[in-house]
Structure 1
Amino acid sequence: MKDVAVVSYCRTAIAKARRGALNQTHGIPMAAHVMSEAISRAHIAPQEVEDVVLGCGLPEGATGHNIARNAALYAAFGMQVPGFTINRYCGSGLNAASVVANRIAAGEMQIGVAGGVESISLVQFNLNLNHFVYEPLQQKIPAVWWTMIQTADFVADKYQISRESQDKYVVESQRRVAAALKAGKFAEEIVPFQTVMSVRNKESDEVSDKNVILVEDEGPRPDTTLEGLSALETVNPGGTVTAGNASQLSDGAAAVVMMDAKLAAQRNLPILGLFRGMQLSAVAPKEMSIAVTPAIKKLMRHHGISMTGVDLWELHEAFAVTTLYNQAELDTPWEITNVNGGAIALGHPYGMSGIRYLGSTLLELGRRGLHHAVIGICTAGGMSTAAYLER
């Protein structure tokens, strides 16, 4: 099996769904933009790409019709470059990277693009719900159709993770994001994106178009306080999830270029790190947040990794309760866990997030002169993806 190198990574800044800069940007130009920049950063020609695999949590409407192939066409990669769209909800991006990596490792190709894209603004609020629920399965396992907030509330209640502990975690996560912003860490991965957004006048209720260039993540709130979070109402009566301790609905796209590591070295390309592999797990749908732990344990067994052999941990911030549960179960040191904050502050475009974790974690390993990282992402339906990275 061949080693698989990640030779470039970039992303759009993450925009707030419905209210942000990408609120009327189609998924095709969004994905094509980061794919083109990733190719440029990798110093390869577009026609050298042998496959494009994009993850998307909601592959319909503005992100439907096999957006991977269409984005590759729009990016002018050439008619000969195929594309494949994959959906495992929040784990879609990391699965896309795994598909590309496996084909390279098997010797089936040498160069591929993996990415993730989500337009929650244009898709989530206009979903095709015709025959969405299959009643025989719903009667057996109702939680298959629960909202993710319901699953988070269930986990918080079952495992006694308090509202106060969740809010305290958010304050620290926002602080880490603010520190990363100040250090210019996110600017290193963001490629500016020019687009047109829809703006509603609060006084007149008139809607107009506005030309914008998205260069910074719109979600972070560095002034977040425990008092402010404590004042927020819970989404569900009797629950603990609020708008402050859940990841933000967001739009965005990200991409990496992956190559046969030997070829990348021969060309003296900027290798960010190696994609060593991915593992999956599944639990009861109502306990979605806890699925990260078994996925990571399976990954570590497969690769023979010890806890002391991991330099950085990235545990998905779907909700504060998600990170708190998995950090406690795995006993990862806080000082090397989610070191630059996470999706609660930055936002969570479902299909994009796995690629963001992959790229940003490799960059952080490089900044710190470290070598090994583990990523864990829970996903709707009670599943999780986990990946092992080396630099």
Structure 2
Amino acid sequence: MKPNFACNYDDIYLVNGARTPFGKFMGSLGAVSPTDLGIIASRTAIKKSAVKPADIDHVVYANIIQASFDAIYIPRHVGLYCGIPSTVPALLVQRICGSGFESIISGAEQIVLEKASIVLAGGAENMTLTPTSSFGNRMGYRLGGLKFGDMLFEGLYDSAGKCSMGQTAENLAKKYNISRDDVDEFALRSHSLAVEKLNNGILAEEIVQIHSGVIETEGLSPRKIRTIPSKKGGLDYDENIRETNMEQLQSLNPTFSKNGVQTAGNSSGIVDGAASVVVASGDVIKSKGLTPLARIVASASAGVEPQLMGIGPAPAIRNVLDRAGLSLDDIDLFEINEAFGAQIVAVERELKLDRKKLNVNGGAIAIGHPLAATGARLTHTLALELKRRGKKYGIASACIGGGQGTSILIESIR
């Protein structure tokens, strides 16, 4: 039997979660390390889940572009500074834009394998702090041979597929006959919904405020937090969200090709942030009397052509539905990452989705896409919205650079 890269989970739950505000590129969170972002989100996720740090028996955390000298320790330091015992192990995962999902999936698998019963999962990314790097310095350089590269810019180019991530969206626009108007219309919807949900407090339910100060944990070195500029009340909202209109969106020049459809206004925002969730077994839910947001039903991944990487959510969603024995009609809400406007419209057309079910609070075009944090944000956002609406099933998904897709299917606990 040909595998469909999917897995069912019998009795595993997303208890609750939290995220930082997403700071705009070179904005208020520009100097806050990804580790500190992860600690702040995780402390609140643990508190909202009504579990004690000592109850957690595994940490699985994601980060893509290492943006601090201690970034290799992110999962370990997140756990320790949350007060999780030093005897509890920690794992760093990376599936590019699907990394946040992968942390949850890996956490669920730890529980299935009886390696853990409560897992802290999530991801953090500071895209402002991504370094300018030079490789090979230990071996020296020829005269004039010193070369530096922007790790953020280079990371958004697939050397195997010979294309930037933006160009893959342009490829999908051609394949699915998606016009500039189509893309800008979707982008306007994303911006408008995000502004609405920001103003009515819906997004605030996910967010923990960040302010300048010191993170202190007994026995560990203190960690200083400095926001830019230092805000008296701290940052408690997504900085990338802004009012716009069709006229403004249409005035922007194409970014990736001369006559292309992708612009700065209809592509995901480059932002800094972290998102964390707590995953637990059914036995723990019962024994501790916890109130989870959702049951994790199944997860799936898929591979696609690198030049069409943005279509990855389509086969990943089909795979997870096939494994769960459900159809698209059974799904009440979708949270699919808006890496690029043409990309999300292509997925929408490929699956023939009802737009009224898709990204109902706005998406990454407005809110931003802090790479490793996105999967955890989308899953938590979806769980909250299903509960808010009294709906049952939801799927969160994202495309992945290099030509992949990943998805998680959840069932709301009503």
- TM-score normalised over the length of structure 2: 0.85
CA distance in 1, matches of 2:233, 2:135: 33
**2:227 is equivalent to residue 197 of structure 1:** yes
Letter in 1 for 2:86: M
Change (3 A) 1:129 1:184: farther
Match of 1:7 in 2: 15
Match of 1:226 in 2: 246
Alpha-carbon displacement from aligned partner over 1:330-387 (angstroms, at most 9, x marks no partner): 1111111111110000010000000000101000000011110011200111111011
Match 1:320 to one of 330, 333, 341: 341
**2:307 is equivalent to residue 286 of structure 1:** yes
Alpha-carbon displacement from aligned partner over 1:35-72 (angstroms, at most 9, x marks no partner): 11111112222122111111222245357213111221
CA shift, 1:158, in A, is 3.0
Letter in 2 for 1:72: G
Q: Secondary structure at the match of 1:65?
A: helix
Alpha-carbon displacement from aligned partner over 1:80-136 (angstroms, at most 9, x marks no partner): 12211111111000000000011113322111100110010111x42556699xxxx
- Gaps spanning 5+ residues in structure 2: where? 1-8, 137-146, 150-157, 213-225
**2:91 is equivalent to residue 84 of structure 1:** yes
Change (3 A) 1:277 1:165: same
Q: Secondary structure at the match of 1:197?
A: coil
Letter in 1 for 2:303: A
Match 1:22 to one of 25, 29, 34: 29
Match of 2:272 in 1: 251
CA distance in 1, matches of 2:344, 2:133: 29
Match of 2:287 in 1: 266
Question: What does 1:1-391 correspond to in 2, within 5 Å?
Answer: 2-18=10-26, 20-59=27-66, 61=68, 64-123=71-130, 125-127=131-133, 142-144=159-161, 146-195=163-212, 196-198=226-228, 213-222=234-243, 224-236=244-256, 237-391=258-412
Alpha-carbon displacement from aligned partner over 1:301-349 (angstroms, at most 9, x marks no partner): 1111112211111121001111101111111111111111100000100
CA shift, 1:221, in A, is 1.5
CA shift, 1:182, in A, is 2.8
Percent identity between matched residues is 31
More helix by share: 1
Q: Secondary structure at the match of 1:278?
A: strand
- Gaps spanning 5+ residues in structure 1: where? 133-140, 200-208
Change (3 A) 1:158 1:184: same
User: What is the Cα-based RMSD across aligned positions, in Å?
Assistant: 1.9
CA distance in 2, matches of 1:127, 1:264: 46
CA distance in 2, matches of 1:59, 1:144: 23
CA distance in 2, matches of 1:27, 1:152: 28
Q: Secondary structure at the match of 1:66?
A: helix
- TM-score normalised over the length of structure 1: 0.90
Q: Secondary structure at the match of 2:267?
A: coil
Q: Secondary structure at the match of 1:122?
A: coil
Range that drifts further, 258-267 or 3-12: 258-267
CA distance in 2, matches of 1:12, 1:156: 33
CA distance in 1, matches of 2:395, 2:207: 22
Q: Secondary structure at the match of 2:193?
A: helix
Change (3 A) 1:44 1:128: farther
The alignment of Structure 1 onto Structure 2 pairs a total of residues equal to 371
